Structure 1
Amino acid sequence: MPLVLRNTSILITDDRITTIFDSSNPSDVPIPDSTERVSVQGKIVSPGFVDTHKHGWQTAFKTIASNTTLAEYFVRYGEFSQANTVFTPEDIYLGQLVGIYEALNAGVTSILDHAHSTFSRETSGASLNASMDGGVRMWWCYAFHDISNGFEVGDQIEDFRELKKDERLGESTVEGGIAYDGFSTAAKEEVQSIIDLATTSNISALTTHFLGGPWFFANSPKLLHDLDFLNTSFPIVFSHSSFISSEDASLLRQTNQYISTTPESEMHYSHDHPTTHFIQDQAALGVDTHFTYSADIVTQARLWLQSTRLGLFRQTVNRWKIPKNSPMSVNQAFLLATRAGGLALRRPDVGVIQVGAKADIVVFDGSSPNMLGWTDPVAAVILHSNVGDVEHVLVNGEWRKKDRQLVLKEGLNMSKDEVEGKFLESAKRIQEVWMQTPLPDWKWDRPPGGIHSGLNLIV
């Protein structure tokens, strides 16, 4: 369970935590004269939150998909929609950047981005540039997909190899990875080419969508195990894993791979997650498509905690019995939002506050009306806080939010107002295109983009 330290100070040197000490005896710790001192008396200091599944480029769709479903998403908003021809590189850059700012504002300091805005060399480069300019810690996973605009998987592989040569990847908080959903559907030759690319490219992570049950995206741990591609030197994160089997769960434990459950997404879109709570020991949290709902991980932790409680309570009360104990604790939810995210990415120095860890830190105002009176800081954060309580955010030892104001990364050639102005112009143009596009007529019985389920659509 999380260790709670009171009356404690943290010394940060460069990008790491170097000392944690009792505030009543500061003289015992050598502190350089140039050190910036920040009072956090009465506040809650938390590890930064880790989002292990996100599509950052889609910010411009905000509020126009409030009632969408997963089936509609694929043909209207996803990578196989008209987005792959309508979005310009500047649209991708601005959406990715503003999406990062929304996350940082909420205390999300690390993101695994399933970057499926790889519609061309220009859009993939724009996405990577925005990720670097945003100042968040990111595993930027280039998506390989069979899209209809002529930019084929072979072209994408060449593009990925060129982007991996970018020297900034070794100097920034952004690391390169791979996103691929074709393990269960693509030709064997294509699947093998992605496996070969992953094993020879020194990637930091690989991610894939896995739903199971009635859904397509059957990229299960069992399938990757059968491909001899589960016990890898890099982390593989299975997004959603809604209908994960006991065999899948066992394989995850054997190979130390993780799932990313995205509670609000799985409720919003109709994925569901009836068995995911059985694998919480190999799970972390994600947001998914932030344009449709919340972008903060605390909300995801809260929803997951309460929905898991409800589901398990329901099993008892449906038998006309009275539950005695709560089946899930706030401590478990907090760990899913922080440390588990770091472990999912095989980074024990992320999502924690300890000596040697990366200085990714969030400070909550403990005296806001909804927080006043707290005793248990974990319960306060998980059950009572909101984004407005996030006062300060550090990523890699640098301010990204201070005194409730975003701090843009040094060297960005635009001000915050300029970024917002350009983004609003981009979003307005894109939303007008989508508002003029008729809704799908649902005459297809297979999903788009070569992803086949063999199931009829039920509405």
Structure 2
Amino acid sequence: MLFKKYIMSYGFYSGEESAMEKTVIRNAYVASQDPLIGNQADLDILIEGNQIAAVGRDLEVGDAAVVDATGCIVMPGFVDAHRHIWQGAIRGVCADWSIMDYVTRIRMNAARFFTPEDMYAAQLQGSLEALNAGVTTLTDYCHNILTPDHAHEAIRGSAESGMRAVWNYGFNFPPSESPHFKSLDQRVAFLDEIAAGYFSSPDNLLTLGVAPEEAGLAASPEALDRQINAARNVGARMFWHANGGPTPEGQAPRDVAALAERDMLGSDITFVHMAATEPDEWQMLADAGASVAFTPETELQMGMMWPSSITAREYGVNQAYGTDIVSNNSADMFTALRLGLQAVRGRVLELEGAMETGVPVTCQEVLDWGTIDSAKALGLDSVIGSITPGKRADLVLLRGDAITLAGWDRSNVAGAIVMQAQSTDVDTVWVDGRVVKKDGQLVADAKRPCALLQAASERLHEKISAAGGFALSEAQAAGRMMAVAGSEHGEYVFDNEVV
């Protein structure tokens, strides 16, 4: 009954609820991401209900509503393959932090102060922020589920936004003085509940994913395997932080190899960060049909090494891109793709010397990574990621006459999108055939979500400050990172006290 209340009160957008009117986008320069259509000028796109019905020139569309896209670029919506939306409520706090600063100060400390209301505010505002920037689908890695209500409110915020998302149930045990979940049994049981309660319909804009604990935080390999099996039991794809950098001893983590040795590796896992992956592991990923996801804005800052896009390409491993955390950086896929592309180009130049002509990675490739390849990493490439008849109408219209795009090179539309365009150029956004942004403005009123987030941020900063601030002592940080080991055995340790 609780799940029915949430669904009926706040509404999941489904195929049946999509507007059934017809819309034709006329005379657009289409960057389709479909190899059969390619990039073409002066194309029409017909939207019927929630689907792309046709792509071509001079389409006969009857009484369809008309959007004049002359001089504009229409592309598939960006697919952000990795984002922790809940951290929007502490925006920018780790702009000058390392990865250990982030883990100890947010994951091991600040996370425990979030209320369900804070989760709702962050999820709603963060999803609208993504839509505003042309992201129509994202992977929400929600690893701060302190109580069932934290999950309920996070899902509610995402559902209200109208965003298409894979909402990831995080198995992490955030340290808490009064934990609700004290065992993995409880975590698994709650996953089963929400899978049946929220995600039973394949037509929902929200689909279920699972984020298992990192190998270094899981109580044991057996505990990690149980989380993976729990995800598979409910048919959920997994997204997993792995091989993000060397171990404290300077060794490769070999997270992929460890899964393979236990026969847990599969095509249903997208591995995130992954720059410390060894050659034999890349081959394991290729053989399994798994995907990887990179987030250059955090990886380059926090010591997670260079994005391994060239290596992934060499081994034929599908790769995706994401924005990661607005507690550190932008929520903008234009920025993530541009930075990732230039980082990869620069790394090749550093290793191989000057290039006589051409570049090792093209703008078209990186646009693939942020659209169709990211959709594949989410298991949704048959539904979204390209402008293909029969797929869902998740589209973005960029103003070609904007101050930042005027005069763009018609021979390289991918170059214009990746190297020139900005989120301010996003004029119109469709998700599942619904207009969610028009004439440069969100259709939803963003004032309330922004006010809710601001209030949540102020509450959180006040509580964190009263508790001594973000930073922990070395003993506190080490103790809290060990807490999950106790929780696996029915005891939860917080600052050396069993609670």
Match of 2:401 in 1: 367
User: Within 1, Cα distance between the matches of 2:254 and 2:157?
Assistant: 29
Pairing 1:11–2:46 present: yes
Pairing 1:160–2:204 present: no
Match of 2:258 in 1: 223
Change (3 A) 1:189 1:253: closer
Q: In structure 2, give the amino acid aligned to 1:95.
A: A
Pairing 1:69–2:98 present: yes
User: Within 2, Cα distance between the matches of 1:60 and 1:292?
Assistant: 11
Match of 1:266 in 2: 299
Percent identity among equivalent residues? 26
SS in 2 for 1:309: helix
8 Å contact from structure 1 (residues 243, 274) kept in 2: no
User: Within 2, Cα distance between the matches of 1:17 and 1:447?
Assistant: 53
Pairing 1:449–2:481 present: yes
Q: In structure 1, give the amino acid aligned to 2:272.
A: S
Pairing 1:88–2:121 present: no
Unpaired segments ≥5 residues, structure 2? 1-32, 485-499
Match of 1:426 among 448, 451, 456: 456
Match of 1:179 in 2: 211
**Where in structure 2 are the equivalents of 1:278-293 lying within 5 Å?**
278-280=311-313, 281=316, 282-293=318-329
Pairing 1:196–2:229 present: yes
User: Within 2, Cα distance between the matches of 1:14 and 1:202?
Assistant: 28
SS in 2 for 1:178: strand
Unpaired segments ≥5 residues, structure 1? 409-414, 453-459
User: What's the CA shift for 1:445?
Assistant: 8.6
SS in 1 for 2:67: coil
User: What's the CA shift for 1:443?
Assistant: 5.6
Q: In structure 2, give the amino acid aligned to 1:366.
A: G
Match of 2:388 in 1: 354
* Residue-by-residue CA offset, 1:105-145 (whole Å, 9 max, x unaligned): 11011111111121111101111111111211111110112
Match of 2:174 in 1: 147
Q: In structure 2, give the amino acid aligned to 1:272.
A: M
8 Å contact from structure 2 (residues 83, 325) kept in 1: yes
Match of 1:387 in 2: 423
User: Within 2, Cα distance between the matches of 1:346 and 1:137?
Assistant: 13
User: Within 2, Cα distance between the matches of 1:447 and 1:16?
Assistant: 51
* Residue-by-residue CA offset, 1:323-370 (whole Å, 9 max, x unaligned): 433111111111111111111123223211111111110110111122
Match of 1:130 in 2: 157
Match of 2:490 in 1: none
Change (3 A) 1:183 1:293: closer
User: Within 1, Cα distance between the matches of 2:307 and 2:232?
Assistant: 33
Change (3 A) 1:123 1:236: same
Pairing 1:54–2:83 present: yes
**Where in structure 2 are the equivalents of 1:324-339 lying within 5 Å?**
324-339=357-372
Change (3 A) 1:219 1:129: farther
User: Within 2, Cα distance between the matches of 1:447 and 1:293?
Assistant: 28
User: Within 1, Cα distance between the matches of 2:459 and 2:240?
Assistant: 31
